[in-house]
C-alpha cells in the first residue's frame, strides 16, 4: 500500500461527523481511498462525496478546502493521504 500526502484536517465538526480538509499537497476526487492519520487517529475510507462551501463537487485541486463526511472521528492537524494500489 502506497500513499501520497494531499493535505491536513483544519477543523472537525463532531455533530456532523465532517472533516474540513485543506489540500496543501495535491488534489482529491470522489472514489479516492484516503487515510487520515495523526497521533490518535487512523481512519481509512473511500471518498463518497465532498463539498466546497456547501456545494457538492466531484474533484478538488491543491489549494482548495473541502468538507468530507468521516466514518470515525479525526482531529485538527491530522494528515490526509490518498492511498494508491
Separation CA 48–CA 30 (nearest Å): 6
Confidence of residue 1 (pLDDT cuts 50, 70, 90): confident
Q: Which domains does the chain have, with CATH numbers?
A: 2-84 (2.40.30.10)
pLDDT in tens, 21-46: 999 999 999 999 999 999 999 999 99
Separation CA 55–CA 78 (nearest Å): 24
Q: What's the chain's average pLDDT?
A: 97
**Which pLDDT value is given to residue 23?**
98
Can you give the pTM of this predicted structure? 0.95
Give the mean pLDDT of 61-84: 97
Amino acid at each position: 500500500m502506497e500513499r501520497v500526502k494531499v493535505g491536513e484536517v483544519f477543523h472537525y465538526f463532531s455533530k456532523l461527523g465532517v472533516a474540513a480538509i485543506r489540500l496543501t499537497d495535491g488534489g482529491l476526487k470522489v472514489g479516492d481511498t484516503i487515510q487520515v492519520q495523526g497521533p490518535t487517529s487512523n481512519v481509512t475510507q473511500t471518498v463518497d462525496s465532498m463539498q466546497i462551501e456547501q456545494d457538492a463537487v466531484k474533484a478538488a485541486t491543491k489549494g482548495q478546502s473541502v468538507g468530507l463526511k468521516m466514518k470515525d472521528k479525526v482531529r485538527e492537524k491530522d494528515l490526509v493521504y490518498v492511498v494508491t494500489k
